[in-house]
Structure 1
Amino acid sequence: MTSIDSWIEAHARFTPDKPAIRFDAETLTYRDLARAVGEVAGLLRDGHGIGRGDRIAYLGTNAPDVVVLLFAAARLGAILLPLNWRLAPPELAHAVTDSGARLLVHQPDFAEAVADMAGAGAPVPRLVSDPARGGLAVLAAGGSRVAAEAATGTLADPLLLVYTSGTTGRPKGALMTQSGVRTNALNAIHMQGLTSRDHVLTVLPMFHVGGLNIQTTPALYVGATVTLEARFHPARTLEAIARHRPSLTVLVPATLAALISHADWAGADLASLRLIATGSSDVPHALMRAFIERGVPVLQVYGATETGPVSIYQRPCDDPSEFGAIGRPGLHTRARVTVDGRPARPGEIGEIELKGDNITPGYWNRPEATQASFRDGWFRTGDLALVDDNGVYWFKDRLKNVIISGGENIYPAEIERVLGEIDDLREAAVVGVRDPQWGESPIAVVVPRSPETADPAAVLARFDGQLARYKQPKSVVFVQELPRNALGKIKLDKLREIAEDALRPPSEKN
Structure 2
Amino acid sequence: MDLCTLIERNAAYAPEKAAIHFEGQTLSYADFNRRIERVSRALEGQLGVERGDRIAILSLNRPDYLALLYACARLGAILVPLNWRLAAAEQLFILSDSGAKVLVLEQSFDAVLPLLTRQLPDTSLVGLDFAPLGGSKLDDLLDEDGRDGRNPRADLTCPLLIVYTSGTTGRPKGAVLRQEALLWNGVMSQHMHDLTSADHALTVLPLFHVGGLNIQTTPSLHHGATVTIQSRFTPEATFDSFERDRPTLAALVPAMMQALTNHPRWESTDLSALKAICTGSTMVPQHLVERFVMRGVPVLQVYGSTETCPIAVYTKLGGDLVPEGSSGLPGLCCEAAIIDGSGSNLPPGTPGEIAVRGPNVFYEYWGNQRATREALSNGWYRTGDIGRRDADGYFWVHDRKKNLIISGGENIYPAEVERVLMGHPDVAECAVVGRPDPRWEEVPIAYVIRRPGAQIEAEGLMAHVQSQLARFKAPREIIFTQELPKTALGKVQHFMLKEVGTRSGPNGDSN
TM range (shorter): 0.7 to 0.9
1:468 counterpart residue number: none
- Pair 1:348-2:338 in alignment: no
CA contact (8 A) 2:37 2:71 kept: yes
1:246 counterpart residue number: 247
Report deviation, 1:114.
2.5
CA distance in 2 between counterparts of 1:349 and 1:233 reads: 38
CA distance in 1 between counterparts of 2:474 and 2:167 reads: 10
TM-superposition CA deviations, 1:12-62 (whole Å, max 9, x none) = 111000111111022111111111111111100010000100000011100
TM-superposition CA deviations, 1:255-300 (whole Å, max 9, x none) = 1111112222221221111000111111111111111111000000
| Mapping 1:110-121, distance limit 5 Å | 110-119=109-118, 121=120
CA contact (8 A) 1:65 1:136 kept: no
CA distance in 1 between counterparts of 2:97 and 2:238 reads: 35
Going from structure 1 to structure 2, the CA distance change for 1:327 and 1:494 (only over 3 Å counts) comes to farther
CA distance in 1 between counterparts of 2:115 and 2:127 reads: 16
What code does the residue aligned with 2:96 have?
A: T
1:458 counterpart residue number: none
2:384 pairs, out of 372, 382, 385, with 382
| Mapping 1:4-19, distance limit 5 Å | 4-19=3-18
Q: Which moved more, 1:52-61 or 1:331-340?
A: 331-340
CA contact (8 A) 1:101 1:124 kept: yes
Q: Which moved more, 1:140-149 or 1:61-70?
A: 140-149
1:232 counterpart residue number: 233
Secondary structure (helix, strand or coil) at the match of 1:66 reads helix
| Mapping 1:198-347, distance limit 5 Å | 198-340=199-341, 341-347=343-349
Report deviation, 1:143.
2.5
TM-superposition CA deviations, 1:462-500 (whole Å, max 9, x none) = xxxxxxxxxxxxxxxxxxxxx998697898998967957
CA distance in 2 between counterparts of 1:255 and 1:225 reads: 22
CA distance in 1 between counterparts of 2:76 and 2:214 reads: 19
CA distance in 1 between counterparts of 2:129 and 2:501 reads: 47
2:370 pairs, out of 363, 368, 371, with 368
Unaligned 5+ segments in structure 2 are 131-135, 407-411, 415-432, 440-464, 480-493
CA distance in 2 between counterparts of 1:349 and 1:505 reads: 31
Secondary structure (helix, strand or coil) at the match of 1:320 reads coil
Q: Which moved more, 1:68-77 or 1:392-401?
A: 392-401
Going from structure 1 to structure 2, the CA distance change for 1:31 and 1:444 (only over 3 Å counts) comes to closer
- Alignment coverage as a number of residue pairs: 439
Unaligned 5+ segments in structure 1 are 403-411, 414-428, 432-442, 450-482
CA distance in 1 between counterparts of 2:510 and 2:315 reads: 48
CA distance in 2 between counterparts of 1:490 and 1:279 reads: 23
- Pair 1:504-2:508 in alignment: no
CA distance in 2 between counterparts of 1:151 and 1:20 reads: 26
- The Cα RMSD (Å) is 3.2
TM-superposition CA deviations, 1:411-450 (whole Å, max 9, x none) = x99xxxxxxxxxxxxxxx9x9xxxxxxxxxxx9944469x
CA contact (8 A) 1:92 1:117 kept: no
CA distance in 2 between counterparts of 1:155 and 1:182 reads: 8
Going from structure 1 to structure 2, the CA distance change for 1:501 and 1:320 (only over 3 Å counts) comes to closer
Going from structure 1 to structure 2, the CA distance change for 1:90 and 1:106 (only over 3 Å counts) comes to same
What code does the residue aligned with 1:245 have?
A: R
Secondary structure (helix, strand or coil) at the match of 1:118 reads helix
CA contact (8 A) 2:322 2:328 kept: no
What code does the residue aligned with 2:8 have?
A: E
- Pair 1:58-2:57 in alignment: yes
Report deviation, 1:152.
3.6
TM-superposition CA deviations, 1:84-143 (whole Å, max 9, x none) = 111110000000000000001111222233234434657621011129xxx988445543
Going from structure 1 to structure 2, the CA distance change for 1:70 and 1:444 (only over 3 Å counts) comes to closer
Secondary structure (helix, strand or coil) at the match of 2:316 reads coil
CA contact (8 A) 2:126 2:138 kept: no
CA distance in 2 between counterparts of 1:184 and 1:489 reads: 30
Report deviation, 1:238.
1.2
Going from structure 1 to structure 2, the CA distance change for 1:280 and 1:493 (only over 3 Å counts) comes to farther
Going from structure 1 to structure 2, the CA distance change for 1:444 and 1:221 (only over 3 Å counts) comes to closer
CA contact (8 A) 2:98 2:366 kept: yes
1:476 counterpart residue number: none
Matched-pair identity in %: 41
1:81 counterpart residue number: 80
Secondary structure (helix, strand or coil) at the match of 1:400 reads coil
CA distance in 2 between counterparts of 1:296 and 1:189 reads: 18
1:158 counterpart residue number: 159
CA contact (8 A) 1:62 1:206 kept: yes
Secondary structure (helix, strand or coil) at the match of 1:174 reads strand
